[in-house]
Amino acid sequence: MYSANAPADDAGIAVLSAGVRTWLQMRGGNGEGAGLVTYLLATDARTRLRKGVEENILMLEVEERGTELIVVLRDKGEPVTAPPQGILPLLDQGIATAADARTDGEGNVTEVRFALPGHHEIFDPQTIDGDEDDVLSSEEVSIRALLPQDAAALTRTIYRCYGWTYPLQDLYFPERIAATIENGSRIGEVAVTESGEVAAHWGAVYLSPTAVETGGTVTDPRFRRRGLAKQLGDRLLERIIEAGITGRLREPVLTHTATQQIALNDGASIVGAYLHFAHPLQQVGITEGIGVQRSSLSVAYGPLKALEPATVWIPNPYEPMAHMVFSQSNWPREFGSGFRGIQIPDVTVLATNYDSGNRLGIIDVATVGQNLIDCLDSSVDDLRKSGAEHIQVRLPANQPALQSVGAGLTEIGLAFGAFIPQLRTFDLSGVDRGDVLIVQWLADADLDTQSWKFATEQVSEIVLAIAEQVRQVANSGQARRRQAARRAQLFAALD
């Protein structure tokens, strides 16, 4: 790890930029690009520090994490709500892999990730033999925990099932998979052949100390019809429960009903849907080639232990969908009302992240303040201009301010996405239980709902209700723009 402090002046910024450039060059990465990004981060911090802040110091930390170099810049200037505008376009050019901006109670934290050489070592499809995918194999398999050395074989299985269309792009890069297994952020169960090929996989990644997201559920077409997915899922669930996890998330596809039904059979509830979430999808033996639209997913949540009782404060436009979610579960949740007189912080605290590979923006709101709408409108606009096609905003549902301050979120293009209980860590002494309301913005709200498959009527009801609100929000925004244009024409005629 490398760290350095420097004044926020030309000389200090030059020193910090040179340090990052040299650090990455020594490891075979794009040092010039990293130096440029660090310069832009530091220059942005200096601009915010000029407004009356006494501690005119920039604090830099650099460390290797898996297949990436993490550069973190801290400053004590005006609160940051998003990475500098000049940073996000550089992600699309491949100069950096991800960017995040947030406050941590002591100041601003801007984090950018850069690729080390192993980060871009992608799976080679020529390593796959010539067996036909529709010929079932009788080869024996054994079931065990996923290991770092399984990474390359797992990428081959992903390719057999999805071609190059799998939405979790990291699973095409063996070094990235191995790094996350080694650092403990990814676990999984696999069925493997004697030669070490992965016949099936079911994995999980930690979202927080209390929640995991299980997925990456794939079975090589040659090994289907054996019930492997069910066996792997049962084993993975045992490991998660033993780890003390409160609940698990899943994102069953809408191209078939199998993973939806598995989630429901395991006691999960459908809590939402992420629409046009990732690149168009192909599933060998399931879909006819690559889909023409970005892929959409249902969202399922299953508690693994009793949830803490909590009150949720849902803005009025999202209450109908929240009621649908709660009606299928017995979670100890009640809707709050009568928010008059509550204390609302002046400032909203949030963090923004952009994944250029999937054109996906994430805005994580920690504190709902009076300026919530302005902050989110600005952050969504920045992500949209940078090429985001799906944006998620994660809101703290146990904060009473959300119900009133968030009442206008649909007016800035945000529709219901999901409700997830106890997703975040929390303190039992407070009212916040870590519940999260997720709302979503779509660049393209033209949804092909006719192609979606639903395991039950209840799944269909929730997902289609969300799709309808997405359309309504998009159409109302278009209507307002046209009204504004017509008003401008009328006023121009009067001049």
Q: What does the pLDDT look like over 47-58, one tens digit per residue?
A: 888 655 557 889
Distance CA 195, CA 198 (A): 9
Q: pLDDT at position 194, please?
A: 93
Element (H, E) at 237: helix 228-242
Nearest to 333 by CA among 325, 341, 321: 325
Q: What is the pLDDT of residues 134-158, one digit of tens each?
A: 678 889 999 999 999 999 999 989 8
Confidence of residue 288 (pLDDT cuts 50, 70, 90): low
At residue 162, φ and ψ (nearest 5 deg) are -125, 0
Is the pLDDT reported for residue 489 higher than 60? no
Is the pLDDT reported for residue 486 higher than 60? no
Distance CA 210, CA 230 (A): 24
Domains of the chain listed by start with CATH number: 1-120 (3.30.565.10), 127-245 (3.40.630.30), 252-495 (no CATH)
Which range, of 23-32, 126-135, 224-233, 422-431, averages the lowest pLDDT? 126-135
Q: pLDDT at position 469, please?
A: 96
Distance CA 12, CA 365 (A): 32
Element (H, E) at 92: helix 88-92
Do 366 and 350 contact (CB within 8 A), yes or no?
A: yes
Cα angle: 139, vertex 143, 144; to 5 degrees: 140
289: Cβ contacts below 8 Å, ≥ 6 apart:
282
At residue 181, φ and ψ (nearest 5 deg) are -70, -45
Q: pLDDT at position 103, please?
A: 80
Distance CA 45, CA 29 (A): 25
pTM (2 d.p.): 0.78
Nearest to 48 by CA among 116, 120, 101: 101
Is the pLDDT reported for residue 462 higher than 90? yes
**Going by DSSP bridges, is the β-strand pair 360-367/390-396 parallel, antiparallel, or unpaired?**
parallel
Q: pLDDT at position 354, please?
A: 85
Is the pLDDT reported for residue 291 higher than 60? no
Distance CA 57, CA 222 (A): 59
Q: pLDDT at position 314, please?
A: 96
Q: What is the pLDDT of residues 339-392, one digit of tens each?
A: 677 889 988 988 888 887 778 999 999 999 999 999 999 999 988 888 899 999
Is the pLDDT reported for residue 190 higher than 90? yes
Q: pLDDT at position 51, please?
A: 57
Is the pLDDT reported for residue 401 higher than 60? yes
Go through 325-347 and write b for each residue having 16 or more CB atoms within 10 A of its CB, e for each that does not: bbebbebebeebeeeeeeebeee
Please report, rounded to a whole number, the percentage of residues in the chain having pLDDT higher than 70. Answer: 89
Amino acid 238 reads E
Is the pLDDT reported for residue 72 higher than 90? yes
Q: pLDDT at position 274, please?
A: 96
Go through 247-286 and write b for each residue having 16 or more CB atoms within 10 A of its CB, e for each that does not: bbbbbbbbbbbbbbebbbebebbbbbbbbbbbbebbbeee
Q: pLDDT at position 245, please?
A: 92
Is the pLDDT reported for residue 16 higher than 60? yes
Question: CA dihedral in degrees (233, 235, 241, 244; nearest 10)?
Answer: -110
Mean pLDDT is highest, among 217-221, 346-350, 371-375, 422-426, for 371-375
Mean pLDDT is highest, among 157-166, 443-452, 469-478, for 443-452
